[in-house]
Chains A and B, each alone.
Chain A
Amino acid sequence: MNKRFRAWMCLLLCIILLTGCTADSVVLPSVTLPPVSAGPEAPIGDAGLQQEMIIPLYLPSQNRQSLLTFYETLTISRDQHPAEAILRALLSHGGNSRVQPLGGMVTLSLAGANPVEISGGVCTVNLSASALQLTSQDLYTATLAITATLCELPDVNHVNLLVAGTPVAMDVGGNLPLGSLTPQLGQELPVLWEQLSARRTPVGELPASTPLTATATLYFPLADGSGIVAEPRRISFPGQHPQQLVIACWRRSPTARTCLTAQQICPISPR
Chain B
Amino acid sequence: MRKLLPLLLCCLLLTGCTRDPLAPMATTNASTALPAPAVDGLPVEENHATLWFRFGEEPFLATESREISTARTESYAHTLLQALLSGPSAASTELGGLFPPGTRVISVHQSGRLMFVTLSKHIMNRFADEPDNWRNQADWAIEVPLRRELAMQSIAATLTENCAVDQVIILVEQTDTATDSLRLRQSYYTLDGSAALADPLQRNESLLLSPARTAEVILQCWQESDWARLYRYVAQRDPVTGTARPDESAFVQQMMACPHLLQAQALGGNVSEDGRTAVFTVDGAWLVEGAEVPFTGMVLRLTRENGVWGAGLSQLIGREALQ
Query: Which residues of A come within 8 Å of B, CB atoms?
Result: 53-56, 58, 61-71, 98, 100, 185-188, 190
Contact = CB atoms under 8 A, between A and B. Distances in A.
B291 to A, nearest CB: 7
B227 interface: yes
Nearest to B59: A63
A54 B262 contact: yes
A66 to B, nearest CB: 6
Contacts of A68: 224-226
Contacts of A66: 226, 228-229
A127 to B, nearest CB: 21
Nearest to A76: B290
Interface of B: 138-139, 142-143, 223-229, 231, 248-249, 251-252, 255-256, 260, 262, 287, 290-292
22 contacts: A54-B290, A54-B292, A56-B225, A61-B226, A63-B143, A64-B138, A65-B139, A66-B229, A68-B226, A69-B224, A69-B225, A69-B260, A71-B262, A71-B287, A98-B224, A185-B252, A186-B231, A186-B251, A186-B255, A187-B228, A188-B228, A190-B139
B319 to A, nearest CB: 17
Contacts of A56: 225, 260, 287
A85 to B, nearest CB: 12
A74 B138 CA distance: 30
Question: Which of B139, B142, B223, B248 has the largest count of A CB atoms less than 10 A from its CB?
Answer: B139
A67 B225 CA distance: 8
Given A64-B139, A185-B252, A190-B139, A69 B290 contact: no
A181 to B, nearest CB: 16
B228 A54 contact: no
B304 to A, nearest CB: 25
Interface of B is mostly: helix
B37 to A, nearest CB: 49
A48 B228 CA distance: 42
Question: Which of B138, B249, B287 has the largest count of A CB atoms less than 10 A from its CB?
Answer: B138
Given A63-B143, A69-B225, A190-B139, A185 B256 contact: yes
A70 B255 CA distance: 16
A62 B138 contact: yes
A249 B95 CA distance: 50
B142 A69 contact: no
Contacts of B287: 54, 56, 71
B132 to A, nearest CB: 19
A62 B139 CA distance: 8
Contact of A63 (B138, B231, B255, B291): B138
A71 B220 CA distance: 13
Contacts of A186: 227-228, 231, 248-249, 251-252, 255-256
Contacts of A53: 290-291
